[in-house]
Amino acid sequence: MARTYRVRMGAFDIGEWEFKAVEALARRYKAMKRRADVLEKCNAKGVNGEEFAAMRWECAIVEQALKETDGGKWEKALMLVCCEGVDYMDVDPVIMPTSRRNEFYTARREFYWRLWVLRQREIGKMLMECSAVK
């Protein structure tokens, strides 16, 4: 069994459980996006609107975090590595802004941090709206 290590987040520090939560969210992105697109196209009766809205919301915050990370320079590379599970060494060097591995991993840490911040902000907004309705 492969050994796993805690990711050193540096300036973009979040807890281990928070990191695992946003990492899982990023890994689910491709499947959620595909499923939401299919549900939108079929317009079938009985499609759960809340589930569809949640999928679209999660996809939107992942896309926003990708665009905001380091000004969007790493968007394609981060999409491949963080969301699709491609290994860093297998990413085409043409889509990388630089060949410096440390810069990529710094951008990757920033992506996970931004995703966590966006998720917390949106959850907070939803909770405020729910409490205002009552």
Q: Does residue 94 or residue 8 have the better pLDDT?
A: 94
| pLDDT for 78 | 92
Q: What is the pTM of this model?
A: 0.79
Q: Is the pLDDT of residue 103 over 60?
A: yes
Tokens of 30: 């491709």
Residue 111 CA to residue 96 CA, distance in Å, equals 15
Question: Which residue, chain included where needed, has tokens 């060097």?
Answer: 93
Q: Is the pLDDT of residue 119 over 70?
A: yes
Residue 63 CA to residue 57 CA, distance in Å, equals 10
Q: What is the pLDDT of residues 2-41, one digit of tens each?
A: 666 665 656 677 878 888 889 999 999 999 898 888 877 7
Check the CA dihedral 51-57-59-62 and report its sign.
negative
